Amino acid sequence: MQIEWLTGALLGPEVRRSQKTLGDLAGIFADRVAWEKMPAPQVVYRVEWWSPSAENTEGGLSWGTTTIEPGLVGSEYFMTHGHIHAKADRTEFYGGIQGEGALILMDESRRTWTEPMFPGSLHHIPPRTAHRVANTSNVPLRFTACWPSDAGHNYEIVRQQGFSSRLFRKDGKPVLVAAAQ
Ligand code: M6P
Ligand code: ZN
């Protein structure tokens, strides 16, 4: 296995890849009318990762790099779906590589806050904390991640209840806005 540190790109036969398009992210962005006018096949982000241990292996780790394209749905920045770990006490590291953005975190009481992401930023996602990343720059945002093999992804909470705040561009700058209930 190899990593190209300047981009986070992973190289090797064991690398797995996935992507999420606007169509895959139905219901995730606030402005449904704007989302419907955009091309469903447009890629919002790609993930490449290496899982040397099988999923669910206690004690194992996975390593990944995510690339989020620049863009907006209405005035909301392109972002990852977001999840909380199925094993809720599992934590994770994120590290900014390229571009600028925000790590959006929400705790169990639905308090949401952000941490700025930039090349060299390093983030610890605490237990029981939902997380997603938004690209607030004009270039692809690339970040690396390391998570326990048995963390699992629970997407239901985000799909059903969303985050309590969303990141919109206002006057050219990111602003965290409480979501309509
Ligand atoms: C990071 C890690 C992965 C995650 C990916 C995309 O690389 O946290 O586990 O899958 O981001 O985020 P999401 O699963 O929310 O689409
Ligand atoms: Zn995670």
> CA-CA distance, 172 to 114, in Å (whole number)?
17
pLDDT digits (tens, 9 = 90+) for 159-178: 999 999 999 999 999 999 99
pLDDT digits (tens, 9 = 90+) for 112-143: 999 999 999 999 999 999 999 999 999 999 99
**Mean pLDDT on 9-28:** 98
Average pLDDT, the chain: 97
Interval between CA 178 and ligand 2 midpoint (Å): 23
- Point out the ligand nearest to the CA of residue 24: 1
> CA-CA distance, 181 to 173, in Å (whole number)?
24
- Which residue type, as a one-letter code, is found at position 170? K
**Mean pLDDT on 52-80:** 97
Give the Å distances, CA to CA, from 125 to 79, 91, 99, 114, 146. 17, 5, 20, 11, 10
Position 181 confidence tier, pLDDT thresholds 50, 70, 90: low
Interval between CA 148 and ligand 2 midpoint (Å): 9
> CA-CA distance, 11 to 48, in Å (whole number)?
9
Interval between CA 164 and ligand 1 midpoint (Å): 19
CA 86 to chain CA centroid, nearest Å: 16
